[in-house]
C-alpha cells in the first residue's frame, strides 16, 4: 500500500504538509504493472499519475501506427494535459518494465489543488510545456502510408482507394496527368499501362496489386494465428465488431473474418446522428475504427480480405478461400446485407466509373464541383446527400415515393431542407445512363407525367435497399425466402429445431451457430440494435459452451 514516504519522493508533492500526504496515501490507487501493461489507454479518463518505480513509455497511434513520444521515469508525473484541458488522454502510457504507479482521480486532484495552490501552479506550467510539444506534433505534415497513381475512372484504382480508406490507411492519389506528379513521385513515373501503381512508405512499389497482397504489405492480418477458436465471427460490421469486443473481453479465443474492411455498411455512413453516446454524431468509419482498436486491444484477431467458402456444421469447421480450414466451437453469423442492384440497361458498364452502390467518404474528392444524384429515400441516402453536398455543386435525391418523410428520419429531413444545393425529386426514377469512358448523364422519368428528361450527372449513388447474401450457407442453417437467417422462436415455428431445450434468442437451427445484425430475420435494422445483438450473441455462445462442457481455449 502507499505510504507518505512513497508520495513525498515525488518532487511535485515533496513540499506538501503531512495531512495532505496522508490524504493522498488513503485516496490514491496503487498500480503494479507488468511490462506491456497500460496505466491508461489513449482516450482514457483524466486523472493524475506519478511513477514510483520502473519506466513508462508514452505512445500515440498515428494513422494506425504506434509511435513512441517519450518516457516517464520515477518521480515524474503524467496526466497534467487532460486535467488542464478537461479532456481524455491524448496518448497512452504503458509499462516498459515492471513498474509501480500511483493514480489520483480528477476529483481528488482538484481537492488537492484547492488546498495547495503551489501544486496547481507547477501542474499548469508543466501542462503548458507539454501542450506545446503536442502542438508541435500536430503541426508536422502527415506522411501518407501509400502514394497511388491511377486513372480516375479505372475500376481497379477505385477499388484500391476504397479499400485503403475503409481500412483507415492514409494515402495520396494522383492521376497520371497530374501536374504535381513528377515532384511527388521519386524516380521515373510509371507508364499508364502499369496503373494503378502504389508506392508504400518504405519505398516498396506495387503494380496493380490485389487487396490481399496490399493488406499483407501494410501489416494487416490476413492469416489466422491458430487452428481452433472458441468463437468465429463472420463479418466485421457493427454486430461483428461488438461480438469481437465482448468475446475477447470474456476470455474467449475470438476471430473475425471480414472479406473487405471492418465497419460493414455502417462503415460507409458519413454521419450517424442517433447513436447513443455521440451527441454530435459520429461517422461510420470513425465508429468502426474505435471498435476495431478496442477489439484488437482486448485480444481479438481481425482477418481482412478473406472470404468463407463453406461451413461444415457437423465437424464445426470453416473453410476460407486459399484452402485455409479453421475449427470453431461456436460461430456467429454477422455478414450483414449487400446493396440491391438496379436492372437498368447500361448501368453495369458504369459500375465504379460514376455509378456506385452505397457510398464511401473516399468518393467525395472525386465528386468535387459536379452534379450528382442519389437514388433512394432512406437514412443512408440522406446521410450521403448531406456529406456530398459539401463537395458537389448540386445533389439530387431521386425516389419513387410521394413523400421523403415516409422513409427517412425527421432529423435528416430537416437537415436536407436546410441545404441550398440539395434537391428532392419525388415520384421519379432513373431509367438510363450515358457516357463514354465514364458516366456523364442520366435519364429521369417523372412518374406523374411519364416525361423523360436528361440531366448532367458526374456521380450516381444507389440506395434502394439491401438483401441477405446467404445462399452459400449450408442447408442445415434455416433461412426465410429472402435469405435472412431464422433464430430463436422463428426456428421452432419453422419446424427446424431438434434439441429438447429451446433455442437461445439468437441461435440458428444449428445449435452453437448464432446470427446477429442485419443478416438475422428481424424488423429492426439499426446500428444500435446490431451492436446489442453482437454482445448478446457472445453471452449465448458462453452458455452453449458451458452446456457442452467446454472450457474456453484462451
Same domain, 11 and 67: yes
What is the value of pTM for the model shown?
A: 0.81
141 vs 501: which has the higher pLDDT = 501
Residues 460 and 475 both lie in one domain: no
Considering only CA atoms, which of 364, 341, 384, 372 is closest in space to residue 438? 372
Confirm whether 342 is domain-assigned.
no
446 contacts: CB under 8 Å, gap ≥ 6? 427, 428, 452, 453
> What is the Cα–Cα distance from 554 to 536, expressed in whole angstroms?
20
Nearest Cα neighbor of 126 from 72, 69, 81, 68 is: 81
pLDDT band per the 50, 70, 90 thresholds, residue 139:
very low
- Tell me, yes or no, whether 90 and 32 share the same domain: yes
65 strand-pairing partners? 62
438 lies in the same domain as 333:
no
Q: What is the per-residue pLDDT across 428-457, written as a single tens digit (0 to 9) for each?
A: 999 999 999 899 999 999 999 999 999 999
- CB contact at 8 A, 272 and 284: yes
User: What is the spatial distance between Cα 403 and Cα 377, in angstroms, rounded to a whole number?
Assistant: 9
Note whether 453 and 472 are same-domain residues: no
The domain boundary residue, chosen from 159, 194, 217: 217
- Does residue 324 belong to any structural domain of this protein? yes
Residues 67 and 153 in one domain: no
Counted domains in the chain: 4
| pLDDT for 123 beyond 70 | yes
- Does residue 554 lie within any of the structural domains? no
468 φψ region: left (φ > 0), alpha (ψ -120 to 50), beta (else): beta
Confidence of residue 218 (pLDDT cuts 50, 70, 90): very high
Q: Tens of pLDDT along 187-197?
A: 888 888 889 99
Range of lowest pLDDT (40-49, 219-228, 300-309): 40-49
352-374, pLDDT tens digit by residue? 899 998 887 777 777 888 999 99
Q: Is residue 552 part of a domain?
A: no
Boundary residue ending a domain (89, 105, 139): 139
Helices (H), ranges, 298-445: 379-388, 410-418
Cα distance between residue 138 and residue 431, in whole Å:
49
Same domain? 68 vs 35: yes
Distance, in Å, from the CA atom of 209 to the CA atom of 321, rounded to the nearest integer, reads: 18
Average pLDDT over residues 252-258: 96
Same domain, 134 and 161: no
Rounded-to-integer distance, Cα 369 and Cα 365, Å: 9
Same domain, 263 and 302: yes
Range picked from 124-138, 153-167, 326-340 for highest mean pLDDT: 326-340
Q: Tell me the pLDDT band of 141, cut-offs 50, 70 and 90.
A: low
Angle between helices 238-249 and 284-297 (to 10 degrees): 20
Q: Alpha helices, DSSP H only, in 299-443?
A: 379-388, 410-418
- Is residue 534 within 8 A of residue 246, CB to CB? The reply is yes
Supply the CATH number for residue 51's domain: 2.60.120.10
> Which stretch of 18-27, 187-196, 375-384 has the lowest confidence by average pLDDT?
187-196
Residue 553 lies in a domain: no
Q: Phi then psi for 201, rounded to 5 degrees? A: -65, -25
Q: Would you say residue 100 lies in a domain?
A: yes
* Domain span including residue 191: 146-217
Q: Is the dihedral of CA 515, 516, 517, 523 positive or negative?
A: positive
Which CATH number belongs to the domain containing residue 541 in this structure?
3.50.50.60
Asked if the peptide bond before residue 334 counts as cis, ω within 30 degrees of 0, the response is no
Determine the Cα–Cα distance for residues 285 and 298; give it in Å rounded to an integer.
Answer: 20
Residues for the chain: how many in total?
554
> Do residues 427 and 449 both lie within one domain?
yes
pLDDT tier for residue 493 given thresholds of 50, 70 and 90 = very high
pLDDT tens digits for range 462-492: 998 888 989 999 999 999 999 999 999 999 9
Last residue of a domain, one of 119, 139, 159: 139
pLDDT of residue 247: 96
CA distance linking residue 236 with residue 245, whole number of Å: 11
Between CA 243 and CA 301 the distance in angstroms is 12
Average confidence (pLDDT) over 103-112: 90
Number of H helices, E strands in the chain: 14, 29
DSSP conformation class of 519: G
- Asked if residue 76 lies in contact with residue 125, where contact means CB atoms within 8 angstroms, the answer is no
Check if the beta carbon of residue 474 is closer than 8 Å to that of residue 234: no
Cell numbers that stand for 57 in this block:
513509455
Q: What is the CATH number of the domain that holds 155?
A: 3.40.30.10
Cell readout for 439 is: 458516366
Q: Is residue 150 part of a domain?
A: yes
Q: Which grid cell sits at 446? A: 417523372
Between 283 and 527, the more confident residue is: 527
Helix or strand run (H / E) with residue 113 = helix 106-115
pLDDT value of residue 541 = 96
Q: Residue 266's pLDDT is what?
A: 74
Mark whether 459 and 472 lie in a shared domain: no
For residue 377 the three cell numbers come to 429515400
Asked if residue 222 is part of any domain, the answer here is no
Q: Which pLDDT belongs to residue 280?
A: 73
Pairing of strands 513-515, 325-333: parallel
The answer to whether residues 509 and 496 touch, using CB atoms and an 8 Å cutoff, is yes
- Residue 363's Cβ-side half-sphere holds a number of Cα atoms within 13 Å equal to 28
Q: What is the mean pLDDT of residues 44-64?
A: 88
> What pLDDT sits at residue 455?
96
Same domain membership, residue 353 and residue 450: yes
Amino acid at each position: 500500500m502507499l505510504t507518505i514516504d512513497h508520495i513525498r519522493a515525488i518532487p511535485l508533492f515533496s513540499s506538501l504538509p503531512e495531512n495532505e500526504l496522508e490524504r493522498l496515501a488513503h485516496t490514491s490507487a496503487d498500480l503494479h504493472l507488468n511490462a506491456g501493461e497500460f496505466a491508461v489507454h489513449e482516450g482514457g479518463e483524466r486523472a493524475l499519475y506519478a511513477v514510483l518505480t520502473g519506466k513508462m513509455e508514452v505512445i500515440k497511434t498515428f494513422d494506425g501506427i504506434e509511435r513512441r513520444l517519450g518516457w516517464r521515469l520515477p518521480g515524474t508525473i503524467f496526466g497534467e494535459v487532460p486535467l488542464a484541458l478537461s479532456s481524455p488522454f491524448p496518448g497512452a502510457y504503458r509499462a516498459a518494465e515492471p513498474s509501480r504507479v500511483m493514480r489520483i482521480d480528477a476529483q481528488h486532484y482538484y481537492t488537492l489543488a484547492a488546498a495547495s495552490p503551489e501544486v496547481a501552479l507547477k501542474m499548469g506550467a508543466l501542462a503548458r510545456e507539454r501542450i506545446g510539444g503536442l502542438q508541435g506534433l500536430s503541426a508536422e505534415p502527415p506522411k501518407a502510408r501509400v502514394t497511388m497513381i491511377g486513372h480516375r475512372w479505372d475500376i481497379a484504382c477505385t477499388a484500391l482507394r476504397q479499400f485503403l480508406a475503409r481500412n483507415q490507411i492514409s494515402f495520396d492519389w494522383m492521376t497520371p496527368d497530374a501536374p504535381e506528379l513528377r515532384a511527388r513521385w521519386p524516380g521515373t513515373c510509371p507508364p499508364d499501362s502499369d496503373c494503378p501503381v502504389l508506392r508504400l512508405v518504405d519505398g516498396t512499389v506495387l503494380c496493380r496489386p490485389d487487396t490481399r497482397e496490399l493488406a499483407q504489405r501494410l501489416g494487416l492480418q490476413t492469416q489466422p494465428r491458430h487452428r481452433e477458436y472458441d468463437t468465429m465471427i463472420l463479418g466485421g460490421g457493427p454486430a461483428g465488431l461488438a461480438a469481437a469486443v465482448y468475446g475477447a473481453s470474456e476470455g474467449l479465443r475470438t476471430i473475425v473474418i471480414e472479406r473487405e474492411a471492418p465497419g460493414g455498411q455502417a462503415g460507409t455512413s458519413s454521419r450517424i446522428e442517433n447513436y447513443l453516446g455521440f451527441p454530435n454524431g459520429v461517422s461510420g468509419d470513425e465508429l468502426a475504427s474505435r471498435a476495431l482498436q478496442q477489439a484488437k486491444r482486448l485480444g481479438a484477431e481481425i482477418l481482412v480480405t478473406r472470404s468463407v467458402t463453406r461451413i461444415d456444421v457437423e465437424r464445426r469447421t470453416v473453410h476460407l478461400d486459399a484452402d485455409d480450414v479453421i475449427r470453431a466451437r461456436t460461430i456467429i453469423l454477422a455478414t450483414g446485407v449487400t446493396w440491391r442492384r438496379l436492372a437498368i440497361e447500361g448501368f453495369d458498364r458504369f459500375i465504379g466509373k460514376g455509378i456506385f452502390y452505397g457510398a464511401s467518404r473516399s468518393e467525395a474528392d472525386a465528386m468535387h464541383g459536379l452534379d450528382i444524384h442519389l437514388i433512394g429515400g432512406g437514412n443512408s441516402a440522406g446521410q450521403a446527400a448531406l456529406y456530398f453536398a459539401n463537395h458537389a455543386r448540386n445533389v439530387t435525391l431521386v425516389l419513387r415515393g410521394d413523400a421523403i418523410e415516409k422513409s427517412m428520419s425527421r432529423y435528416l429531413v430537416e437537415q436536407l431542407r436546410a441545404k441550398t444545393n440539395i434537391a428532392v425529386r419525388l415520384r421519379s426514377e432513373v431509367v438510363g445512363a450515358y457516357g463514354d469512358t465514364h458516366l456523364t448523364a442520366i435519364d429521369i422519368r417523372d412518374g406523374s407525367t411519364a416525361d423523360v428528361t436528361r440531366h448532367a450527372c458526374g456521380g450516381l449513388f444507389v440506395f434502394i435497399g439491401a438483401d441477405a447474401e446467404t445462399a452459400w450457407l449450408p442447408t442445415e442453417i434455416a433461412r426465410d425466402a429472402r435469405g435472412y437467417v431464422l433464430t430463436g422462436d422463428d426456428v421452432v415455428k419453422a419446424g427446424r429445431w431438434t434439441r429438447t431445450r429451446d433455442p437461445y434468442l439468437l441461435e440458428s437451427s444449428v445449435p452453437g451457430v448464432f446470427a446477429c445484425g442485419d443478416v438475422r430475420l428481424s424488423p429492426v435494422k439499426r446500428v444500435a440494435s446490431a451492436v446489442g445483438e453482437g454482445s448478446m450473441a457472445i453471452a449465448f455462445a458462453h452458455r452453449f459452451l458451458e452446456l457442452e462442457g467446454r472450457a474456453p481455449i484462451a
